[in-house]
Amino acid sequence: MQVTDIETAVLGSAVEAASLPAQVGDRELDISSVVVRIHTDEGITGYGESFYRSEENNQFLARSIESMGTHVIGKDPENVKDIWHELYLHVKRAGAYGALSAIDEALWDIKGKDAGKPVYQLLGGQVGEVNAYATFPADKTADELVEYANWLHEKGFEAMKIGAGFGVAEDRNRIETITNAIPDDFGLAIDANTSYTYTDAHKVAEIASEHGVEWFEEPIAHTDIQGQAQLNKDVDVPISGYQTHTPHYPALDHLKAEALDIYQPSLDYVGGITGATRVAALVESFNKEMVPHALGPAINYAASLHVAAASRQCELIEFAVLDDDIDDPGEYIAGPYIENRDAIHVEDGGRIDPPTEPGLGVTIDEEVFEEYRVD
């Protein structure tokens, strides 16, 4: 089989952009995306997806995918690892990790469709169960968050993640208010998106430890491996991160330093399925946990589910609840261009499984796809 053509499409968001509730500048959670379609001479088309969180940046990502794609035309798409490494040589100089990720996902989609099997089968099959935790990226007061926590707990989510980084006093108020009010079997996780100094992160981490917070995500600069290792050693709350890292190579430095207890690679950025499964293998050998960062749009989210299901150290995955006014918070609402989007949903009780159709297991509704297309 040979790759004959690579097309990109920039899609507008199906949901309102939400502010990420952490003090790290004007970060908006915008689920507009770039879809790559890799065509082959055998008529199989693979879909992959990545996103840079704004339409403007996504135009750049689309050009980047097209530029990287020139190295893929004429190649056998079955040789994902070979192609991944050739692209990595270009990417490590040009920084096109989103492009590498989307192309890798589309190649795995082709492999699965050609084999007539879902990707998680090609990765070794499902290992255990994966449950979802809810990221709730809404600008709410602590009291309002308590109400929503009960709604999410009723659905079966294990935990809710909220933004941190509002300063020690405000973070203390939010952590205390919420943990004192939520049910015992429902957890709270906090995410500072790399925004704290070491000193303030340490204070918040102590408060989080006292209140049994599930994890403290990206407390300080992701580049400060020693600082994260020191925090992880000093406080009870598990320190988590890795969504800002590319690809799997830096995971080894973090693991050797014991910098993180929970690894959260982001498929749209870490190098797709190939990058994430390699993080998983490293994490397994150090007996740590993997909980993929997965805020992304639908094709990329499906790819994340395949990796989660096939990874031994993964029992939990992120699921963004992007609307607080829907009946079922387990419904996936960010991908209207997926015909079978019911294949992505959190069951009552919290379990989530990958789609079972061949490849990534999502079918594109071409009409809706064109409606969302902006480039």
Residues at the site binding Mg ion, with contacts judged by CB under 5 A = 191, 217
- Residue 215 C-beta: closest distance to Mg ion, Å: 10
Cβ-closest position to Mg ion: 191
Cβ proximity to Mg ion, 295 vs 343, nearer residue: 295
Terminal CA-CA length for the chain: 29
Cβ proximity to Mg ion, 72 vs 208, nearer residue: 208
Cβ proximity to Mg ion, 109 vs 217, nearer residue: 217
Q: How far apart are CA 86 and CA 259, in angstroms?
A: 30
- Residue 193 C-beta: closest distance to Mg ion, Å: 6
- Residue 337 C-beta: closest distance to Mg ion, Å: 25
- Residue 283 C-beta: closest distance to Mg ion, Å: 17
Q: How far apart are CA 339 and CA 48, in angstroms?
A: 16
- Residue 198 C-beta: closest distance to Mg ion, Å: 18
- Residue 326 C-beta: closest distance to Mg ion, Å: 23
Cβ proximity to Mg ion, 105 vs 318, nearer residue: 318
Cβ proximity to Mg ion, 24 vs 181, nearer residue: 24
- Residue 371 C-beta: closest distance to Mg ion, Å: 30
Q: How far apart are CA 156 and CA 85, in angstroms?
A: 40
- Residue 240 C-beta: closest distance to Mg ion, Å: 8
Cβ proximity to Mg ion, 8 vs 264, nearer residue: 264
**Residue 249 contacts by C-beta under 8 Å, 6 or more apart in sequence?**
none
Cβ proximity to Mg ion, 191 vs 214, nearer residue: 191
Cβ proximity to Mg ion, 109 vs 191, nearer residue: 191
